[in-house]
């Protein structure tokens, strides 16, 4: 119990937002479900180490994000392969580049850049620090002098706004 609240009282209201965040990270509904399930299991097991009076939402989101990052691609870690280990496998990759693939790559990058540039500053700075500079939530919070929960909220909203902008640009 923390401040009179049980794990369930703190965690259950966050189920849907956690799933939405996991879905965005994993880009797959089943992987997102597994990711949220593993997050809740880890959070439940570690609830005794949660510090009363701190931000539970930031704590559980950090568990979700760390679980995802540890797994690299949702819940299935993929081993890194060096080009030097299997040069034949990577030999033809550059040849598959066509004018069409270059065009679509540039168009997608331009649409993404436009979507990010269109965000209000509080959202733009959080998404850039997180997704471009690879700052942790704690580093973003310290850099912007805002609570970690605010970082999480702004980042989720910024990503949602970018998705909406990209859907509108099609």
Q: Over range 67-87, report the average pLDDT.
A: 56
Query: Cβ(126)–Cβ(158) under 8 Å?
Result: yes
Does any domain span residue 92? no
- Total tally of structural domains belonging to the chain: 2
Q: Is residue 90 part of a domain?
A: no
For 22-74, the pLDDT digits (tens) are: 876 677 889 889 999 999 999 999 998 888 888 787 788 778 878 887 875 44
Dist CA 53 CA 33 (whole Å):
29
Same-domain pairing of 1 and 50:
yes
Give the residue numbers spanning the domain of 32: 1-76
- Both tokens of residue 145? 């002098």
Residues 119-139: pLDDT tens digits?
Answer: 888 898 899 778 876 778 997
In the three-class reduction of DSSP (H, G, I as helix; E, B as strand; rest coil), residue 2 is classed as strand
**Same domain flag for 129 and 68:** no
Domain-located, residue 91: no
pTM beyond 0.75, yes or no? no
């Amino acid at each position: 119990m923390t401040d009179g609240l049980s794990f369930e009282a703190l965690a259950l209201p966050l189920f849907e937002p956690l799933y939405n965040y996991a879905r965005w990270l994993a880009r797959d509904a089943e992987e997102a479900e597994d990711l949220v399930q593993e997050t809740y299991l880890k959070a439940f097991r570690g609830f005794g180490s949660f510090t009363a009076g701190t931000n539970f939402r930031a704590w559980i989101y950090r568990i979700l994000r760390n679980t995802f990052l540890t797994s690299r691609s949702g819940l299935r870690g993929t081993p890194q392969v060096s080009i030097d280990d299997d040069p034949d496998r990577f030999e033809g990759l550059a040849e598959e580049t066509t004018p069409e693939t270059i065009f679509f790559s540039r168009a997608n990058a331009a649409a993404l850049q436009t979507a990010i540039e269109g965000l209000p500053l509080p959202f733009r700075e959080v998404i850039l620090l997180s997704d471009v500079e690879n700052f942790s939530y704690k580093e973003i919070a310290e850099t912007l002098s805002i609570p970690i929960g605010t970082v999480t909220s702004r980042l989720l909203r910024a990503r949602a706004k970018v998705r909406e902008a990209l859907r509108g640009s099609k």
